[in-house]
Amino acid sequence: MAKPGARGRRGRIVMLVDNGVEGDSRVQKQARSAAELGWDVVLLGRSPDRKTHRWKFGNARVRLVPMPTPLSKDRDRNEQSRRRYDTHLARARAVDTEYRRNAAAFLGSGSSMPGSSLAVRAAWRLRRAYADRRLRLVERRGTDFALGSGRGSFEMDEQTAASWEKRLGTRAWRRLDPGLWDWELAFGPVIDELQPDLIHANDFRMLGVGSRAKLRAWAGCRDVKLVWDAHEFLPGRTIHNQSPIWHRAQVLHEKEHVPFADAVTTTSEMMADLLKAEHGLASLPTIVRNAPTTWPETAVPSTPDVRSLCGLADDVPLLLYLGVTAPQRGVDTLVEALPQLDGVHMALIARETPNRQRLTDLAESLGVSDRLHPLPYVPVDEIVPHIRTATVGVFPALHNLSHDSDLPTKYYEYAQARLPMVVSDVKTSAETTQRLGNGEVFAAGDAEDLARAVKAVLADLPRHRAAYHAREDELAEWTWEHQATVLDGVYRGLSGQPRRKSS
């Protein structure tokens, strides 16, 4: 890794995320805080079009990378799509050949650098030759990256997918979802151009992209460290819009690339335990919670507060849901409870998506559209002051392993805004709410029970608000400022820099 001061004060971090950055509060906070602590940060996300977009979060630079997706589609649609597919397939095969050669040499060398002495270079050439022979043998047997048919999981039945997995093991993702290579072909060259000292890969797709970039740098005698930030427990993810074959491909892709991560971070204790057991990690991942940034008392937000945007008087009960509106988040249950909550309004802070439109249509069909207020996202560092004027924060998630194992970002945001809460009985959120005494728990998916819980909280707001006063020490840790020091400690540990003393 470059010496501190070679680029910025501490070296360059390239952060990777598989979205357009806007709306992803975790990666925004990571990038801004790391830059504030002296790292040279470039955050790479996915462009919504064919253009590169650039802006800054504080001192962190953001670049959205255009990403063609021919390998995610059927090759045989027309002549043009076939040519595009075949071109990208050839590039993916070349990248995969290089990756597997590097991976075999890296794992066979115990990850020591190739070196520059004659003896070390000779040993390195032998390892590369051995890796190349293994690769040619695999390719002659036709057991790996054979995508000549141009068909991935969109035309594969589960029996065929199981057969490929039995034959190839973790490498089967190449057959089940060749579209994963679209990410590599778009992001890989950009990472190489930036020559990072450390790569921070957010979530499962970017783990593979970051691993291959790390190995390319290693083969070129550059020591690049890789941090994998696991946002969810992928094997336990509930499948909705994707097929089981797609899901299995992502799990296999993740499992193949985990060994190349130098450090793993995640969001909760239960998630850390699950990841350690699933991947056989030598130690528990470091917990970096999805806590919000604090808001200075003298600062003035750039947007009006949520109650003002809804046009409601101070005495009107206002429920708040903040975040993604996918079906598994259970927001339908909250809308379905509104007919049982006379005079209660609901603010829905979410992106304009088909799911949000579906919720507004549901409210209209139930005759409560005048009490549902869809609102846009606000800047990530303004969320807490923006939502303080709501009455109750609601987290109505349905059961799945990810929801049961973690506190969501919105829980920390509601808590910092000192909002009483109504949460479904997903394990971690329910247990935390019962321990703190800051709200009520209802049965997930049960609109009638949700309405009961809301009424119970509204009937005793002072008691639920007062519960926070006894937990000020815990709430002080539920801030991004505290979590940023934890993440900075991970970076410093990998870079060989002394860790900051806690204040």
List, for residues 243-277, the tens digit of each pLDDT value.
Answer: 899 999 999 999 999 999 999 999 999 999 999 99
Question: In this structure, is residue 53 part of a structural domain?
Answer: no
What is the number of alpha carbons within 13 Å of residue 364 lying toward its C-beta? 7
Question: In this structure, is residue 327 part of a structural domain?
Answer: yes
pLDDT of residue 322: 95
Question: In this structure, is residue 330 part of a structural domain?
Answer: yes
Q: Which residues does 300 contact at the CB level (< 8 Å), separation at least 6?
A: none
For 169, phi and psi rounded to 5 degrees? 70, -140
**451 is in which domain, residue-wise?**
306-478
For 147, phi and psi rounded to 5 degrees? -110, 30
pLDDT of residue 296: 73
DSSP 202-213: EHHHHHHHHHHH
Which one, of 444, 454, 455, lies nearest residue 333 by Cα? Answer: 444
Answer for the pair 209, 187: CB distance below 8 angstroms, yes or no.
yes
Which one, of 230, 203, 236, 231, lies nearest residue 404 by Cα? Answer: 236
Residue 219 in this model has a pLDDT that exceeds 60: yes
List, for residues 291-338, the tens digit of each pLDDT value.
Answer: 998 877 667 788 899 999 999 999 999 999 999 999 999 999 999 999
pLDDT of residue 263: 98
What is the arrangement of strands in the sheet containing 225-229, beginning at the earlier edge strand?
Answer: 53-57, 60-65, 40-46, 12-16, 198-202, 225-229, 263-266, 286-287
Question: In this structure, is residue 346 part of a structural domain?
Answer: yes
Three-state SS letters, 80-97: HHHHHHHHHHHHHHHHHH
Question: In this structure, is residue 435 part of a structural domain?
Answer: yes
Q: pTM of the full predicted structure?
A: 0.85
| Spatial separation of the C-alpha atoms in residues 414 and 291, rounded to whole Å | 10
Which one, of 255, 191, 225, lies nearest residue 11 by Cα? Answer: 225
Question: In this structure, is residue 213 part of a structural domain?
Answer: no
Question: In this structure, is residue 259 part of a structural domain?
Answer: no
For 12, phi and psi rounded to 5 degrees? -100, 130
Question: In this structure, is residue 333 part of a structural domain?
Answer: yes
The number of distinct structural domains making up the chain is 1
Q: What is the CATH number of the domain that holds 333?
A: 3.40.50.2000
